[in-house]
Amino acid sequence: MGVDWRLYVGTLVAILIFFGLGVLVGIGLTREPTAQRLEGQIRRLEARLTNELLRRDERIRLLESDLRTMRQRWDEVQEWLAGILPSLTARQLVFRNIALIACAPDPDGALIERVRETLQKAGATVPVIITLSPDTIQAADATTWRQMAQKLGLVIGEATDEAVKEAVWKRLALLVRYGDAAGQLNALTAMGWAKVTGSLSTPVGSAVLLAAFEQPRDGEQVQAVDLPLLRALKNVGVRTVVCETTKVRESSVVAMAQVAGVATVDHADTPMGLLCIIAALTGHTDRYGLKNGARQMLPPVKALTSEP
């Protein structure tokens, strides 16, 4: 007698029913533990993140404390250096005539006066301070440049506009270098190109060019005013130091002037910078300062110990 096929069907249906029940029971049993595990992981991640943030805040507080300490030490060093600066630089610039040329307005005149006083305490004579008006010079058209050339005694003829500008800068540099007994440089004041304080008749062998005080300078203006003057002074034998202050953080004029191969100082408003100016004027040419591109923060020891 064979096995009834209905038995097989019944058995298969029973197996499927129990299999389905097992799946449902399994889902019900595992759903809650899975949610609990996820909640636990989230809590652990939150705790870990909180700890990391606390450690970060602590590191920030430590760095801020270190920064305050460093600033305090920096101020102490600057104060100490300011106190010994006169003795370090005494007679280093004796018998030297040095012109101060500002290619940008000094907001309160404090830095120009501070540099002048420092040079004089080092033994130098500062016969003239020339403050250029770079906006006026940059805006001058070809006709104005030719008028300036004529006032300076130049015969320009059919010279090109660029040749006229170059000739004007050269004549200005020559008059600064060898003195302006005839008063030709008064044309600068008459045409609003500069303000002059002191005597223009005294020859000078060196110049401190103060290029930027608080605000960054326009690159095109520097190309049109500062660099032509710098090249002209260098070509007629005037030892020139180009300076700016630590307040100028962008569009550094010093960086543009370094290609001319002259000494540069980008921290002229600090005692360190004043010391570097004096070292540069005695022949220790370098890129002094604190910004990118500077190679020395202070001059070499020999610059302070050698006889003038």
In this prediction, residue 27 carries a pLDDT of 56
Residue 67: pLDDT band (50, 70, 90) is confident
User: Residue 120 has which token pair?
Assistant: 């004089």
Q: Is the pLDDT of residue 1 over 70?
A: no
How far is residue 179's CA from residue 89's CA, in Å, rounded to a whole number? 27
Please, is 105 exposed, middle or buried when counting C-beta atoms within 10 Å of its C-beta (0-12, 13-18, 19+)?
Answer: middle
Residue 118: pLDDT band (50, 70, 90) is very high
In this prediction, residue 74 carries a pLDDT of 78
Q: Where are the domains of the chain?
A: 1-89, 90-305
Residue 71: pLDDT band (50, 70, 90) is confident
Q: Is the pLDDT of residue 147 over 60?
A: yes
Residue 38: pLDDT band (50, 70, 90) is confident
Q: 163-185 burial, b if ≥16 CB within 10 A, otherwise e?
A: ebbebbbbbbbbbbbebbeeebb
How far is residue 74's CA from residue 70's CA, in Å, rounded to a whole number? 6
pLDDT per residue as tens digits for the range 292-303: 889 999 898 777
User: Residue 8 has which token pair?
Assistant: 């097989």
How far is residue 199's CA from residue 63's CA, in Å, rounded to a whole number? 52
- Of 88, 133, 129, 84, the closest CA to residue 111 belongs to 129
Q: What share of the chain is helix, strand, coil (3-state, %, to 5)?
A: 55, 10, 30
The fold adopted by the segment(s) 90-305 is Rossmann fold (3.40.50)
Overall average pLDDT of the 16-43 stretch: 65
User: Residue 148 has which token pair?
Assistant: 């300036």
- Specify which residues 288 forms β-bridges with: 265, 296
In this prediction, residue 122 carries a pLDDT of 94
What is this structure's pTM? 0.78
Q: Is the pLDDT of residue 34 over 80?
A: no
Contact 257, 234 (CB under 8 A): no
